[in-house]
Structures are given as C-alpha cells and as structure tokens.
Structure 1
C-alpha cells in the first residue's frame, strides 16, 4: 500500500479517538469522519509499518446514525471530534471504547454498563478559554485550527453555555469599538450554572492599556450577571495561558457555584469540572459505590479542590483529601469552611508519598477514592493502597486505557472489579470518564 493510492473499504469499528477503522487485506487504515458499517472510496495519506491513515472521498453506504455537524467550523476546529455522529452513536462508541480496554488491557470478564449520557448534550461547558488575535486589522476570536496556532474566527460555540457566548460577543464588540484587541491573548470566561454568576478573565500582554476602565464598565452594564472581572498579566513566550500576576478590576476575585447543595468558590485559577450537570452524576456514582454508612474513614487521593471529598463528607465519618497543588489545597480548605464541614481535612502531599507513609505506619481507611490525572496511578500508589487494604476502592478515571492498566494490577493484588460505569462528561468529543467500584476479595 502506498501514499495517494485510492482504495475501497468497509468501516468495521472505531479507534479510541473516534476514527473509523477500515482493513484492506488485513492492513488497518484509520479514517477521520467515517462511521461503523459505512463503505466508500478512500485515499491513503500516510503509511506506517503496521497501520496507515486515509481520507474519506466518497461514501457508498451511509450509517443511519450519521448527522450533519451543527457547528459551522466543526471540520477546522477539532475541539469536537464526533459531530458527524448522532448522540446515540456517540454513547455506543464510548461504551465500546471502555469495553475494549477492559478486555484487552485489564483482561477482565466484566460487562461495562451503558454510558450515562445527557438529556440535553449542548451548551454544557461552564468554562470558555478563547484566544484573541488581530489578523489584517480585523479582530478574531475563536479556537485554534487543528495542529496549528491559527485562530478559526467565531463568536459562539455549541458546547459553551449561552451566557459564555453572550460575553464573548460583547467582548468582540468592545474590541472593535476601542481597537485594543492586540493587547489581549485570551479570554477566560466562567459561568456558575446554579447561581448564574459569571467571571471574565482578561489575559493580557500589559497591565495598562487604553480604555480599560470604559470596557469594564460597559461589559458589566451589558451583562449584569458578571460578578468578577480579573486582569491576568502574561508576558511569557510559550503556550501557557495564565500568568502569575492578577488584578481584580471589578467585583470579587471569585464567583460561587453549587453542586448538590454544596457551595464552591471558583477563582481564575481554580480547577472545577466543566460540565456541572454530569459532575453531579459522576460524583453521585462515586458516592453510591463507596456505600457509606456514616462512620467510615475515607481517603480521597488526588482530591484537587475537594469536590469529591466534600460529596463524601456528607455521608462519611471522616474524609482526608490528598493533593500536591498548594493552591488547590487552599481552595479545598476554604470551600470546606464555606460549607461548614468539620469532618474533612486536606493534606498538601504527593498522593504516592502520602499513601506509602500511611501504609508504612499501619494506617488504614475503610474506603479509598482515587481520581488521578490522565496518566493514572503509579506503582507506589497502587502498592500502598493494597497495603492499607480498604474494604472498598472507588476509581474515578478520565482515561480508559490507564484505568484498565491499573485495574489489571489491582485485580492481581486481591481486589475484585464489581462495576465499570462510564459517564459522558464531554458530549461531541471522544473523551469519556468512568467510575469503577472495587472490593477487597481476599478474606
């Protein structure tokens, strides 16, 4: 097989990122935008030793779940990879994605549950991170073209909240009115769904610039839900979005949101789940799998700003949250105090180091919850969890492949996987989160 060769093939499944898989004489080609059971003409674009890539030229047979992308820049943007699939097909793809790695990597005979999806999978994001530029004298805002730093100009996004889009449109008008868009690098807009409060962060190249005060005044007059305008100075030459220096231009340095009756202060740099509707579903499943009776000690590894910890503290005897990022720990402690929770404490420590220290000291917990970054847990963390031997272990994951790897290790050390529950936190993208319930099998 050679580059630029034209072939005809039938799609037999998907890659983990949603590309169609077409096998030509057993040789797999990955085809962006092609769906399962479709057939058509392809042109080969890249050939590797054991696989290749191809571009879809013409469909001969079309999957009945194919839809026209609602977003006009779907092909250029790359933020949403599955806009050609119906939502039903997206959920089916994500379930199979998880099932495949559970069988292939974890080597477990466990049936993955149906993905918990959304009733309304649009406008779900409570955070917009939008680059700003000036091209040939014209203001551009939007999202980067796939594999480039070119901004695809747009004034709205179908997965951002309607309010975030309104703020973006207002900012574009102000840029055009005052001609100072060149000072700006990004706009960061956060929208608290329950309270309705909005934060706008101006990420700029210099602190002082023409018409700064007028822009703040007009922005908050146009959109009264804005409770915070923060200037963030970033003079770096790399791709890091937020700088270290901040100045509050209007209101407070935070906005407040609620999940399941718990209040959270959200600052410019706070980590907060971007889909609040599904966050409640995800954390609710984690709480269900913990099976708390009211007197348990729970350790929450990689706790971030303590959202899961505080969910658990409503049912547990005591919760200890572990997080290595100092600012996140400060936010977690502040949020616990905000909610009057005195049975939760937060420790600033590397998760592996804390788990190892606790296991060496003979400490134990009734339940351990882990919510690691995409790379999953390291071996020290897994060994230390096993040494502590909690009766229940709940694993929250944003990457099915590293989840499967870790489940294989834990199964080999005495834990039994009971339920694998995928949750769709990011409709229209190939990402899927999972919550796994495990129990100590060796009695």
Structure 2
C-alpha cells in the first residue's frame, strides 16, 4: 500500500473507495487516517488497521468514510457483545479491547493538548488512564425517547447514529440493571393503557421520554415522565400500575416540556407520588437526588475521580477552597474534611439549595454555597478579605467561561484543580492560563467505558513571579 501522505493532486469524491491506514483514534472514537494529506474520519476503524474506505462526506478540510473491508485487523479488535451496538450509537468503542481503550483515551488527551496548546506536550506528566475493574452496568441514569409504531406498539430507546430513527433499547449493557428493568416496565404500562405518545414529526401526542435513575447503594429508583402538557390521560392509573409492578420506584415525577427542542427537560416539574428524592451514597457521603439534580452517571468511578481531586488539592487542613460549578456540592463536600473552609457557587439555584442541604445533613459546618457565577463571587470575596488557596472547577463540556479564567488570573490561588469531561476545551483553557499557571500533571479517568469520553483531573500551580 502506498503512503497516503503523498502529493495533494487528487481530490476525493463522494462514493469513491480507497485504501487507508488508520493512525489514531479521534475525539469521537472514530479512526483517523490521511489520504493525499487530507484527514479522513472512519467510524469503527482502529489504529494500525489497513482498511478499504468508501467516502461518505467530502469537505474542503476533511472527509468522512465507512469501512468496506478490513485488510489488516488490529490485534485489539474484539467482537462487540451488544446486539444493537452498530445501530444505537450510545457506545463507540465496544469493538476495542478494554485495556487498549484506556491507552487510546490517554492518547486523545495528548492529541487535544498538541492541537490546542503551545506547551511542550512531550514533557507533560500525562498519567495512565484509571479504568474500571468491571466496565459494564455502570450508568445510574437512562433517558429513553418514546415512539409509537403504526401497529400501536410503543418503543423506548435512543436515536440511531446520525438519524432520527428510534432504536429500541431493552437491555443496555452499560446501564444499571434496575434502570433497564424499570424503563421497560414503564414502557409496557404506557402501551397497555394506550397513552398518547409524542410524535416528533407531527408534534402531536403527550409522553416524550422516560428518565430513570437508580441509587447503586440504596437500590431506590426515580422515574421522570417527560410530557408535552400537564394533563395526561389515565395518569392515576399509570401511577397505580407503576407502584404495583415496581416497588423499587420510590419517586415518581412528571416534567413538562412542550417545546420543539432536543433538550430532554422543560422548566416545570411536578411531584406525582412517593418521595421527591432518592438516596445515593458516595464513600461516606449520602446524597438526596431530585429529578433535575446533576449527579455523576458512574458512581463507582466517581469515587476514584473525587479521590484524584483530593490528591491534586493536596490539603493540609488549613486551605480555603472555592468550588466553582459546584452542582449539588459533591466535590466540595468530598474535600471539606481536609480544608479550613469550602465556598461553592453555581448558577442553578436548585443545585445550590441541594448543596446547602447536603452539607447540613452531613453536619459539615465549614462548607457554604451561594447562587451566582464564580467571576462574580471570587473578586467579591477577595475584596472582603477571603482569598482561596485552591480553586476547583468541574465545568460542562463547553469548558470554563472566559470571565472565570480571567477571575482566576486576578485572584491567583496557589493551586487550580481542573476536572474536565472534554479534552479539547480543557486544552484551550490550560493554554489560556499557561502564562500564570504550570501544569503539574494530568490524570485521565475512564468514567464511561466503551465510549470515546474521557475525564481528566489536572493539577496546576501558580508560577512564581
């Protein structure tokens, strides 16, 4: 096979087949190769493989293709155990041996740093990815869309890869068994009672989504029915059937979302029956989870992740900690016993109320939580004479708000601990802070086995001026 990085005289056309050597995995888990110097993304192909590819999309700067034939297979290729793996799109790496997934995820972090920073990446301490002993049945929450076939049968599942075709999911291999069991039983109840199901195309019908969350330690389950309106035919019958068939469901909630949107939840939530929350335990901490509360989806790995945050914070008992994007307070409360004081902030008021209640329930008196942005509170606290020694952030996939990074540079905490779920935005934010902060090390953690996602804990320290 000729070297694919040859002169750029020939352009690809859609439908063209061509040989390709896969060099690495991309950030979405797809194989990446080069044809005539142009990058080609190929889902399902693995590093080291020689494949024949058909071009499915051709753009000026990149192309996408699908595997027609594998000429030389990776020694790490395995048969994906899930029967709907290739249709569902929820996982991207079941066809790659798990130990190798961990190595490739570290490489995804490395690539992001090479692409988005001016740092000497070869000199950075990027550690081996921390994996799971049992990398299945780890997700504590499922969000299955509901659809209705022409014969009246209701299906619950996920939209297929690059489509709005609903793929039925009855026994997801990465979901906690309780979420699978409860979602399927609720689907059967809705079908038996002939409840009107939302049709995305016609925008008619009522029930859109079944959201199920299970407490790994408590065994409690919360069900949220997302509907287009408050009134639901046979609502009392639905509630009675769920209570009768599923005693593990301790909390039943309705969320109303009448908008034409891809967002799951609407603004209004109604408590239908049972408790308003379910219980979950992480280490020595117990949390009450309301329907909209953010909580890590993999409790087993969350303990490892938060222990890594604690290591990176390197506490002596004297430190003041600011916990930005605090959510329901999980990270701050995890660190509180090693600090003199924790102050957390979040823009979602319900999460802050949960954080305050979580601190009170554990009798943690050195943690306080406020509503608002870190860029508002950090300078205000400094003005009042309270300067954090350590700032911890765990932002959404979009990364840290630029105003927050500016506030960090002004406040200048000695240590900055960044928990990231997106290597690209992490790299950009690290680069923005590089003038003032040194990256001591990066610890990848595999929160979502068999997907392309990788979480990182980064320890950064203030450079001496």
State the TM-score, normalizing by the size of structure 2.
0.91
Q: Is it true that 1:422 corresponds to 2:444 in the alignment? A: yes
Secondary structure at the aligned position of 1:69 is classed as coil
Which deviates the most, 320-329 or 140-149?
140-149
Q: 1:26 to 1:268 in 2, by over 3 A?
A: same
| Cα distance, 1:401 vs structure 2 | 1.4
Q: Which residue of 2 aligns with 1:74?
A: 85
Stretch of structure 1 that moved more, 218-227 or 61-70: 218-227
SS at match of 1:292: coil
Residue 195 of structure 2: aligned partner: 180
1:116 aligns with 2:130: yes
Name the structure 2 match of 1:160. 175
Q: Is the 8 A contact 1:193 1:276 kept in 2?
A: yes
- 1:29 matched to 2:40? The reply is yes
| Match 1:140 to one of 143, 155, 162 | 155
Contact kept, 8 Å, 1:363 with 1:388, in 2: the verdict is no
Deviates more, 1:120-129 or 1:166-175: 166-175
1:355-401 CA distance string (max 9 Å, x none): 34345566411111111222222333223223322222211111111
Partner of 1:301: 324
| Other-structure match for 2:456 | 434
Alpha-carbon distance in structure 2 between the residues aligned to 1:47 and 1:207: 46
Matches within 5 A, 1:99-110: 99-106=110-117, 107-108=119-120, 109-110=123-124
Matched, 1:55 2:66: yes
Deviation at residue 177 of structure 1 after TM alignment: 2.1
The alignment yields a C-alpha RMSD, in angstroms, of 1.8
Q: Distance in 2 between matches of 1:54 and 1:147?
A: 13
> 3-state DSSP class of the match of 1:2?
coil
Among residues 101, 125, 145, which one is paired with 1:131 in the alignment? Answer: 145
400-409 or 113-122, larger mean C-alpha shift: 400-409
Q: Give the distance between the partners of 2:216 and 2:393, measured in 1 at CA.
A: 26
1:195 matches 2:195: no
Instruction: Decide whether the 8 Å contact of 1:99 with 1:111 is kept in 2.
Output: no
- 1-side partners of 2:270 and 2:396: how far apart? 30
Task: Give, in angstroms, the shift of residue 156 of structure 1.
Answer: 2.2
Separation (CA, whole Å) in 2 of partners of 1:417 and 1:348: 30
Q: What is the CA-CA distance between 1:222 and the residue it aligns to?
A: 2.5
- C-alpha contact (below 8 Å) 2:422/2:454 kept by paired residues: yes
User: 2 CA distance for matches of 1:243 and 1:441?
Assistant: 44
Is the Cα–Cα contact under 8 Å of residues 319 and 339 in structure 2 kept in the other structure?
yes
Task: Work out which of the residue numbers 255, 258, 261 in structure 2 matches 1:238.
Answer: 261
Match of 2:184 among 161, 169, 173: 169
Return 5+ residue gaps in structure 2 as ranges.
1-11, 198-205
**By how many angstroms is 1:186 displaced?**
0.6
2:6 corresponds in structure 1 to none
Residues 379 and 411 in structure 2, CA contact (< 8 A), matched pair in contact too:
no
Cα distance change of structure 1 residues 154 and 104 upon mapping to structure 2, 3 Å threshold? closer
Q: Residues of 2 paired with 1:361 and 1:406: CA distance?
A: 28
By how many angstroms is 1:6 displaced? 1.6
SS of the equivalent of 1:373 reads coil
Judge conservation of contact 1:300–1:309 (CA < 8 Å) in 2. Answer: yes
8 A contact 2:302–2:447 mirrored in 1: yes
Which stretch has the larger CA shift, 195-204 or 178-187? 178-187
Distance 1:380 1:261 in 2: 35
Is contact 1:359–1:384 with CA below 8 Å preserved after alignment?
no
Structure 1 gaps of 5+ residues are none
Give the Cα separation in 2 of the matches to 1:130 and 1:398.
Answer: 22
Aligned to 1:63, the other structure's residue is in SS state coil
- Residue of structure 2 aligned with 1:216, choices 212, 227, 239: 239
1:220-299 paired onto structure 2 within 5 Å: 220-299=243-322
2: CA distance, partners of 1:6 / 1:149: 27
Q: 2:336 maps to what in 1?
A: 313
Alpha carbons 2:441, 2:458 under 8 Å: kept: yes
More moved, 50-59 vs 159-168: 50-59
* SS of equivalent residue, structure 1 residue 314: helix
Determine helix, strand or coil for the equivalent of 1:217: helix
Q: How many residues align?
A: 442
Distance in 1, Cα, partners of 2:386 & 2:407 = 10
| 2:434 partner SS | helix
Aligned partner (choices 336, 345, 357) of residue 334 of structure 1? 357
Change (3 A) 1:152 1:388: same
1:210 CA drift (Å) = 4.2
